[in-house]
Amino acid sequence: MKSNIQKFIYTLALSIVIFSCQKEDNIISSNSLDGLSKLKEGYAIGASAKVEIWGKKNFFVGYNNLVVVLYDSLNLKEKITDAHIHFMPLMTMSMMGQMPMVHAAPVENPSETPVNDVFPGAVAFIMPSTETGVWQLRVAVHNHKYDKEGTASFNINVDSPTNSSLTVFTTTTDSLKLVLSMVQPTTPKVGMNDIEFTIHQKAGMMDFPADDSYAIEITPEMPSMGHGSPNNVNPTNTGNGHYKGKVNFTMTGEWKINVVVKKNGVAVSQNLYFNVVI
């Protein structure tokens, strides 16, 4: 009888132990190139630098996080960690019987001090590559190591995603052209997501300054069921044309984020939305 009780207690304890085991969360890697792939590589002639451009996926219409990795072109091993980098995206649109039209796109140049030896920055491509419209991405490098300057040019193909995360619209009040990009969420999930936008004004064909003077309101919606989600936080300006907030998705499926851009409390946009698929 004693041994039966012992067996029993053992089983009781076992039942606790079995159900106590649980998976631990993965540790996030600190390598800043993780999950990225090399999109382009070339030489910035004159700067003694090899330029690599890394991104999550190929260039697309929208806000592209791009990471520049510089190598000393003399030994191709040593990373250049002190440099000035300028993005210069350039689209050339050839039109029948007319002079080609050239325009740029909003950019965020990397800072002089690298993050883990690489230079993160961003370009918001405002239209896709077409047969008549060709994108070139120029990367100007000022290599502080040798104090030399040069530019690498890449012919790139800008994809057009099914659900665009960028829109160019004209304000209803003062007819300014604004570029609105949804930076985040890039991989939306059920639950609370960071949502981030950038606003750049199209001041000229080659001039897209960041604009911090607007307010953004968001309303997520599931069109097929006609419901929204609670506790969304409207993005607020965090400087450099960025606006950060929170968006909630209650289930997987096809969502739509309705966006109203306001200036001084007055809506300047009409019928803006981004489709999101979870």
Partner 1 sequence: MKKYFLLSLILIFSEFAHAETIDTTKMTCTCVDLEEVNISANLPLNDNKVAGFFRTNQFASMDNINARLEGMSLIKRGAYAMEPQLNGFSGGQINATIDGMKMFGACTDKMDPITSYIEPTNLKTLTISQGTSGCQNGCSLGGTFDMTLQEPDSKGLIPFYSSLGFGYESISRSKNVLFLSGFSHQKWAFGVEGVYRKNENYKTGENVTIPFSQFQKANLHSVLKYKPNSKSTFKADFLLDDARNVGYPALPMDVGVARASLFALEYTHQGKIQTKAKMYVNSILHVMDDSQRDSLYILKTKPVGKSDTVFMRMDMPGKSSTLGAYLQFVIPWNNRNKLMLKVDNYTNRSLAEMTMHMRYAGFAPELPMYMQTWPENLRNVSGIFIQNSTYVSENLRMTVDGRIDYNIDRLQSKYGQEQASIFNYNLSKQQSKLIKSINFSTQYQLVSELSILANIGYSERMPTVGERLGYYLYNAYDGYDYIGNPYLKAENSKFARLSLTYSKSNLQLNISQSFSFVNDYIMGITNSEIPAMNFYAKGIRVYSNVPSAKLYSTDLQLLYSPTKNLTTFLLSKFTYGELSAREPLPLISPLKNTIVVEYHKKTFSAQGECESALAQNRINTAYNETSTPGFTVFNLKSNYSISSQHATLDLSVGITNLFNKIYYEHLDWGRINRPGRSINLFVNYSY
Interacting residue ranges for partner 1, rule: CB under 8 A: 1, 4-5, 8-9, 11-12, 15-16, 18-20, 22, 25, 189-192, 222-231, 248-254, 277-278
Shortest distance in whole angstroms from residue 166 CB to partner 1 = 22
Of the two residues 38 and 227, which places its CB atom closer to partner 1 in the complex?
Answer: 227
> Residue 2 and residue 240: Cα distance in Å, rounded?
75
Contact 70, 47 (CB under 8 A): no
At its nearest, how many Å lie between partner 1 and the CB of residue 225?
7
Question: Min. distance of Cβ 61 from partner 1 in angstroms?
Answer: 22
Closer to partner 1 by Cβ: residue 48 or 193: 193
Min dist CB 193 to partner 1, Å, is 9
Supply the minimum distance, in Å, between the C-beta of residue 33 and partner 1: 25
Q: Residue 214 or 249: which CB sits closer to partner 1?
A: 249
156 contacts 139 by C-beta, under 8 angstroms: no
Nearer to partner 1, 18 or 99 (CB): 18
| Nearest CB to partner 1, comparing residues 192 and 267 | 192
Give the residue with the Cβ less far from partner 1, 9 or 74: 9
In whole angstroms, how close is the CB of 222 to partner 1 at the nearest point?
A: 7
Q: How near is the Cβ of 265 to partner 1 at its closest, in Å?
A: 23
Cβ proximity to partner 1, 56 vs 246, nearer residue? 246
